[in-house]
Amino acid sequence: MALLLPDTRPSRMMLDDGALVLPGFITPEATHLLRIIEQVAAFAPFRQMATPGGGTMSAAMTGCGAAVWVTDHTGYRYTSHDPLTREPWPAMPPLLAELGEQAAQAAGFTGFTPNTALLNRYAPGSRMGLHQDRDEGECSQPVVSFSLGRSAIFQWGGARRTDPVRTVILHHGDAVVWGGPARLFFHGIKPLGHETHPLTGDLRYNITLRYVARTTH
């Protein structure tokens, strides 16, 4: 989408029962959120984590909150401490939790209390394969995801990996919320292209807020 053209998309785009895109929902706070990402990364640097299968995550990741999702050769889990620095993860900035709660509310989910934010950084060519978010130890709360910088093609599937996949372009400032019957639906990000964004160059950032009930050290 040309950045100088007005955004003519509707304010809500339904993906499924319990899943929708809120175009431009966080645009007013976008520069503030980019500053928060910088501040978190100053204490807990972005890194490309190892996967249990012997590979490496394509997107670089870090996070903040009571616990953050990590992966290494032993598996996926939420940890209270950053395995890189051995320090507790940076605290959740109140603005993140507030925006998450507001986006969830706008999507019809009341009482969202996010206690973890995963920060994903995509360089040209970076992707995220189709997956379910199922390491949180509970599924009663939705997932809220914010897009910043370069646009990306979001893949939205169904409850089974083999279900048909639709795509929607996520732009700077968009939020996606999924919960209830769609909480465990498969989703992913196609490889990022090579365009640039005035605020982030050739990078895309994603902030994904969740409530996690099961953590380790």
Ligand X SMILES: O=C(O)CCC(=O)C(=O)O
Give residues in contact with ligand X (CB under 6 A). Answer: 118, 120, 128, 133, 145, 147, 154, 187, 189, 206, 208
- The residue among 171 and 187 lying less far from ligand X, judged by its C-beta, is 187
Q: Write down the least CB distance from residue 116 to ligand X, Å.
A: 11
User: Least distance in Å: CB of 128 to ligand X?
Assistant: 5
In whole angstroms, the minimum distance from the beta carbon of 145 to ligand X comes to 5
Nearer to ligand X, 62 or 86 (CB): 62
Distances, alpha carbon 210 to alpha carbons 5, 6, 163, 169, in Å: 33, 31, 24, 22
Rounded least distance, CB 206 to ligand X, Å: 3
Element (H, E) at 40: helix 30-43
Q: What residues are paired with 149 via a beta bridge?
A: 204
- C-beta nearest to ligand X: residue: 206
Q: Which is nearer to ligand X, 19 or 118 (CB)?
A: 118
Minimum Å gap between C-beta 132 and ligand X is 9
In the complex with ligand X, the residue whose CB is nearer, 4 or 40, is 40
- Reduced to 3 states (helix: H, G, I; strand: E, B; else coil), residue 181 is helix
Please report the DSSP string for 80-141 in residue order. Answer: SB-TTT-SBPPPPPHHHHHHHHHHHHHTT-------EEEEEEE-TT--EEEE----SS--SS
| Short-list 37, 28, 173, CA closest to 93 | 37
**How many of the other CB atoms lie within 10 Å of CB of 37?**
22
Relative orientation angle of helices 30-43 and 94-106, to the nearest 10 degrees: 130
Smaller CB separation from ligand X, 43 or 76: 76
CB of 154 to ligand X, least distance (A): 6
| Shorter beta-carbon distance to ligand X: residue 109 or 186 | 186
